Structure 1
């Protein structure tokens, strides 16, 4: 797990000074939480490392080559599978993720679900204190957010028959249902 500590330190360095738009807390709290979810589920070290670094290329000066050099091809492949192309519109990026997760390998699905689970927890927390005003902070309004989170649920479980599905997939599904209505 020494590589995990190195990945956490790199995430802290890369995200230094960034804050989450809903909570104002240091941004690195998010990738740490995602990695912890993956670790608690007993998933691979490479996947946990990818959890720490999943937003680094998208949101910082870190590049895929930096991750590959430090952690290898498998980690960078997982990170790439979760990295959005910011040159595309919000809807195009989210539709890509919805389509991708349906056919993605298990590790990619697990990272996406862990990421969305942590994001949704922040949304719910902000909603409880600020109400509908939170939707103004998003590029996608409440209706679009509902579509996105529910579509992730619908597609995350596709193709996982016979694979032991980690509990956090079900936690995510329940939170989506409780917050946005039945899937």
Structure 2
């Protein structure tokens, strides 16, 4: 029998999350919704990110509903808006739909999800929104941000990508780093003292610190001006 370990915050084998056919259906649904989609600026299938988020949620004691929300957290924002959210609610229930909605930047605005705000306004509102959500939603959102930040750091350190990684983002390096720093501060504050989850919040802070400290001047050959 596989050993679960004694890491603080992890569930024991006797209380491990049981995944049912709902999770299987959610995985198939996510594969369908995001079929053909790749990670921004890469050839990596988007489902890889969704699987990483769901895996992190489960590793830190999340429920099946939370893991399903991890798989579907970008489905509303990227692939269908309110109609997609209603479909998710019909298929997987109110709890999953609620977490997915709360994890969607563009749905946390005064227009009630009917349109996107300016980037700075949208991000500021989402940061404020995090202070009011429940602990389960926080874990799903944090799992998403950790994987995103880790992916940026990985590509920043690849010789063939380097600092060109920042060209993928609306506000470039300074805007992206500022946002992730603010996210790390908020998650660190809200999850302080919560076993396991605090560790994950510290991981985000560490990754953001590495992004700030990285002095890579690597510019891929394809991005050089001759």
Is TM (by shorter chain) over 0.5?
yes
Matched residue count: 181
Structure 1: runs of 5 or more not aligned: none
Match of 1:79 among 100, 115, 120: 100
Q: Which is further off, 69-78 or 22-31?
A: 22-31
**What value does the CA root-mean-square deviation take over the aligned residues?**
1.7
Alignment of 1:113-124 (within 5 A): 113-124=142-153
For the residues of structure 2 that align with 1:98 and 1:43, how far apart are their CA atoms?
22
Question: Who is 1:170 aligned against?
Answer: 202
- 1:53 and 2:72 correspond: yes
Q: Which has the higher contact order (CA 8 A, sep 6+)?
A: 1
**In structure 1, distance between residues paired with 2:193 and 2:152:** 32
Please give the TM-score of this superposition, normalised by the length of structure 2. Answer: 0.75
1:135 alignment partner in structure 2: 166
Uncovered stretches (5+) of structure 2, i.e. residues with no partner: 1-18, 107-114, 214-226
The correspondence of residues 17-166 of structure 1 with structure 2, limited to 5 A, is 17-61=36-80, 63-85=84-106, 87-129=116-158, 130-166=161-197
Counterpart CA distance in 2 for 1:178 and 1:88 is 30
Matched, 1:13 2:71: no
Q: Deviations over 1:67-126 (max 9, x none)?
A: 111111111000010112262222222112211123321112111111111111111122
Larger Rg: 2
Q: Which runs of 4+ in 1 moved over 4 A?
A: none
Please give the TM-score of this superposition, normalised by the length of structure 1. Answer: 0.91
